[in-house]
Structure 1
Amino acid sequence: MWYIIFTVCTISALYGLWLLFKKAGKQGWEAIVPFYREYILTQLTNRPAWWVILLIVPIVNIFIFYGLYLDFLKSFGKRRFWETAVAVLFPFIYLPLWGRDPAVKYLGVSNTEEFRKKYPYKKTVTREWADAIIFATVAASLIRGFLIEAYMIPTGSMERRLLIGDFLFVSKLNYGPRIPMTPLAFPFAHHTMPITGGKAYSELIKIPYKRLPGFQEVKRNDVVVFNFPMEADAPYNRPIDKRENYIKRAVAISGDVVEMRNAVLYVNNEVGYDSDDVQHAYLIYTDGSGLNLERLIEKRFEYAKDPMTGVAIAEPYLLYVTSEEIEEVKKWTNVKQVLPYDNSGSAFPHDNNKKWDFHNFGPLAIPKKGDVVKLNAETLPIYSRLITVYEGNTLEQRNDGVYINGSKADTYTIKMNYYWMMGDNRDNSSDSREFGFVPEDHIVGKALFTWMSYDTDGTFLSKIRWNRIFKGIK
């Protein structure tokens, strides 16, 4: 239905532009030929012809087109705020109306001194401010939606590669920017209105998932920002692009086989992503004197705190540190014993028959578009959410078998690529071991570099981590 509406609106807008071109002394057909149309507009508006080349540059092309378009309408005397607004929002209505209105005449080339003297038009202060605010809002929204977006690290799940308080730039271009699926939204708000709370978006218009071409596919071990898949469920029930942003490492991509054995990650039966920065959890026992918390803060060692008081949990202390750092801790004179912490919580798909945990699970194949998977008692816990929530089907288990969309089926063909996301802080990360596969339509962008890093535990002079500014993310 939306495709039909879009087609009708496009034809109507082009028809109106055809009529206006004829009024300007041009051929009507010139209004419907992309790029050539803009070349003709540069002639009709006295803008440089080389602007047409900029139409191939993403984001910039939007400003070039609307600059020429609105300059062209000024040639018909359409310069008031409401006329500019409806020309942008409802061209399929107003362009045909103006094209057929005998009172609307072509007055000349708008972007000339002669035109400005002959048809003077002075904007009010209110109009000047409104134009500036609207332009800034549109420009920032386009850049944020299609080019690059700032993101802050709120938790320690990616320590030590990414620290709490790191501010990142996330590229939408690397994997290709998504077309907004929920376009009616309050500017600069993600899913919740600032100050007042409540939804910052409307689901009156929903656009199916589409992604513009990007520079690359998601590669194994990329640091990726994505929408949290579990917010499809109650109480949030949020649309895909309004779900909370998470950042993890894509340790396995579609087609890979992922596994963990005794807390060691394996991908395709080889040791997966590993680094000196990867953290694990350890229990620390002292001689009774306890650990010096100021020392932990000074060394930036992450430790478990009471969520109510913010104070370190009583002995044994739970530290999340690297292999090198735990060797240092072992040398402290009051430390008597160090033990690996066994985070044996249930792991995806949370099936009692498998009994997988965060340290031991798999092997598990990451679904790839076009894969055909069997449907039975063993595989349904793995694929049921994928089939229903992510790919929009109904699934029923009846006495005589499995039914998808009302038809009996013993196999299912995967419609999207999926990814396995994990934090570098392996024992303090909510990731795919908990919520499973991340669909490709949830991918937001690739983390590029930190542009600022703020340390809440630092002193007045060390709040800013200067050594992390403009540091690339690997």
Structure 2
Amino acid sequence: MSEIRSVLKRVERHLAKSKVGDDVARDVEAYVVKLKAAIESDKTGGFRKDLSASRQAAKELEDIAVAKLGYKPKSPTREYVESIGVAVLVALLLRAFVVEPFKIPTGSMIPTLLIGDHIFVSKFTYGLRVPFTEIFMVEFAKPARGEVVVFTFPVKEARAHVKNTPREQACIDEGSLREPKDFIKRIIGLPGDVIEIREGQLYLNQNPLPRTLESRTPTGSFMAPVLTQERETSGEYTYTIQYRRPHEDFGPVKVNEGHFFVMGDHRDDSSDSRCWGQVPMENIKGRALFIWLSLSDQEGEFIRWSRFGSTIH
């Protein structure tokens, strides 16, 4: 039916632009009316409709348009190519301005996000950018504490940070310092905030972030015998973090203007702002929305069905 309607619209547009006499216009319009009536008749046919009347009327309309208006019908190949072109353009526009898919490659956000989770990222939340650049045309909002965001790794800032940081504290691979790639972390500190960690407890502006114990699980490791999971609250978000080494100290560090301090939920297995510094606003691509696919590499489990559609908090 979409092909038939397409013929009707194209001929009507061609007729409106054609400079023909009233008699020719009336002849063509008669076939337009006939096709519209056939379309309405086929619409009421329910499951039994075969669209034969509409197809015949569309062919007759094209034939008279060719004969009297100089109309050139589109070939099936052209129709196919144009359909693909429109679909590709829509996909590119959606990716540039609205949503973008992202695959979780590492365990730095466990347990919130697992390796193999495929998520959608809203690129519309914080504003509209010039396509394929980091320049905002218009900004709608700033990232909030506790939000999970995808960002382009800040190579320039990280190089400067690593240069002035003891090597054992600069936990970043050399590849990330050479070329930009996408990271996903949680916003912990906003511009002007002071971030500090004492004995594993995260402090924001000298106040400990609220936490409640969720579980403690033996790991069988002598160096890190217990895996602890806790519920932490930052801003409007409450989420689960986990760690094996509870005695970390860091900071205090003040977040620079126009920058954000980010951390992974897997606190002792995440390369984040503790390692390579802060993330500029222009590097943030968007906010993580939900999981649309989750693939596991565990034996006997290929698809994690229970994670489909899970909102990311």
Give the alignment's TM-score, normalised by structure 1: 0.43
Q: What whole-Å deviation, never above 9, does each CA across 1:152-173 have from its counterpart, x for those lacking one?
A: 1110000011111111111112
2:200 to 239, 263, 272: 263
Which residue matches 1:381? Answer: none
Give the superposition deviation at 1:256: 1.1
Aligned residue number for residue 363 of structure 1: 252
Cross-structure match for 2:106: 155
Q: How far is 1:438 from its partner?
A: 0.3
Counterpart selection for 2:136 from 210, 214, 221 = 210
In the other structure, the counterpart of 1:248 is: 185
Mapped to 1, the partners of 2:189 and 2:80 lie a distance apart of 49
CA distance in 2, matches of 1:124, 1:435: 57
For 2:207 and 2:295, the matched residues in 1 are separated by 37
Instruction: For 2:272, give the aligned amino acid.
Output: D
Q: Does 1:123 align with 2:74?
A: yes
Corresponding residue of 1:39: none
Compute the displacement of 1:210 (Å).
1.7
Mapped contact 1:151–1:169 kept (Cα < 8 A): yes
TM-score for the superposition, normalised by structure 2: 0.63
Q: Distance in 1 between matches of 2:215 and 2:279?
A: 22
For residues 429 and 278 of structure 1, the distance between their equivalents in structure 2, rounded to whole angstroms, comes to: 20
Q: In the alignment, which of 93, 107, 119 is matched to residue 18 of structure 2?
A: 107
Task: Identify the structure with the greater strand proportion.
Answer: 2
> Residue in 2 aligned with 1:457?
298
Instruction: Give, in angstroms, the shift of residue 451 of structure 1.
Output: 1.4
Shift of 1:364: 1.5
RMSD (Å), alpha carbons? 3.7
Q: How do residues 4-23 of structure 1 correspond to structure 2 at under 5 angstroms?
A: none
Q: After TM superposition, give the deviation of residue 276 of structure 1 in Å.
A: 5.5
Answer yes or no: is the 8 Å Cα contact 1:283–1:319 preserved in 2.
yes
SS of 2:125 mapped into structure 1: coil
Query: Which of 275, 290, 310 in structure 2 is aligned with 1:471?
Result: 310
Look up the match of 1:229: 154
Mark the runs of 5 or more structure 2 residues left unpaired by the alignment.
1-7, 20-28, 34-60, 160-173, 231-242
Alignment of 1:195-206 (within 5 A): none
Give 1:396's aligned residue: none
Of residues 322, 335, 341 in structure 1, which corresponds to 2:228?
322
Partner of 1:350: none
Q: Distance in 2 between matches of 1:447 and 1:175?
A: 12
**Separation (CA, whole Å) in 2 of partners of 1:473 and 1:453:** 13
Shift of residue 361, structure 1, vs aligned partner: 2.5
Give the AA of the match of 1:468.
Answer: R
Distance in 1, matches of 2:215 and 2:129, equals 31
**Other structure's SS at 2:297 match:** coil
Following TM superposition, by how much is the alpha carbon of 1:281 offset from its aligned partner in structure 2, in angstroms? 11
Question: For residues 281 and 137 of structure 2, what CA distance do their matches in structure 1 show?
Answer: 10
Distance 1:275 1:180, change over 3 A: farther
Q: Does 1:175 find its partner at 2:126? A: yes
Aligned to 1:419, the other structure's residue is in SS state strand
CA distance in 2, matches of 1:237, 1:75: 56
Contact 2:109–2:265, Cα closer than 8 Å, also in 1:
yes
Note the alpha carbon deviations across 1:105-161, whole angstroms, 9 max, x for none: x537xxx85996224222233322321221111110111111111111110000011
Amino acid at match of 1:125: P
Q: CA, structure 1 residues 322+340, in 2 after alignment: closer, same or farther (shift >3 Å)?
A: closer
Superposed, which structure 2 residues align to 1:41-440 within 5 Å?
Answer: 107=18, 113=32, 117=65, 118-182=69-133, 209-214=135-140, 216-230=141-155, 243-272=180-209, 274=211, 284-285=221-222, 321-323=227-229, 341=245, 359-368=248-257, 417-440=258-281
Q: Which has the higher contact order (CA 8 A, sep 6+)?
A: 2
Query: Is residue 443 from structure 1 mapped to residue 303 from structure 2 by the alignment?
Result: no
User: Match for 1:212: what amino acid?
Assistant: V
Unaligned segments of structure 1, at least 5 residues: 1-45, 48-70, 78-105, 183-207, 286-315, 325-338, 344-358, 369-416
For the residues of structure 2 that align with 1:156 and 1:267, how far apart are their CA atoms?
25
SS of the residue corresponding to residue 284 of structure 1 reads coil
Residues paired across the two proteins, number: 233
On the 8 A contact 2:202/2:209 being kept in 1, the answer is yes
Residues 255, 367 of structure 1: 8 Å contact kept: yes
Aligned 8 A contact 1:280 1:425 in 2: no
Alpha-carbon distance in structure 2 between the residues aligned to 1:274 and 1:245: 29
| Contact 1:223–1:250 under 8 Å retained in 2 | yes
- Is the CA contact (8 Å cut-off) linking 2:152 and 2:283 kept in structure 1? yes
Please give the per-residue CA displacement for 1:36-84, whole angstroms capped at 9, x wherever unaligned: xxxxxxxxxx99xxxxxxxxxxxxxxxxxxxxxxx8xx7699xxxxxxx
**Counterpart-to-counterpart distance in 1, 2:138 and 2:218:** 41
Deviation at 1:230? 1.8
Question: Identity over aligned residues, as a percent?
Answer: 34
Relative distance call for 1:275 and 1:420 in structure 2 (3 A) is: farther
User: Contact 1:281–1:340 at 8 Å: present in 2 too?
Assistant: no
Measure how far apart 1:274 and its partner are: 4.8
Distance in 2 (CA, whole Å) between partners of 1:422 and 1:264 is 13
Deviation at 1:449, TM superposition (A): 1.1
CA distance in 2, matches of 1:278, 1:431: 24
Query: What SS does structure 1 have at the residue aligned with 2:127?
Result: coil
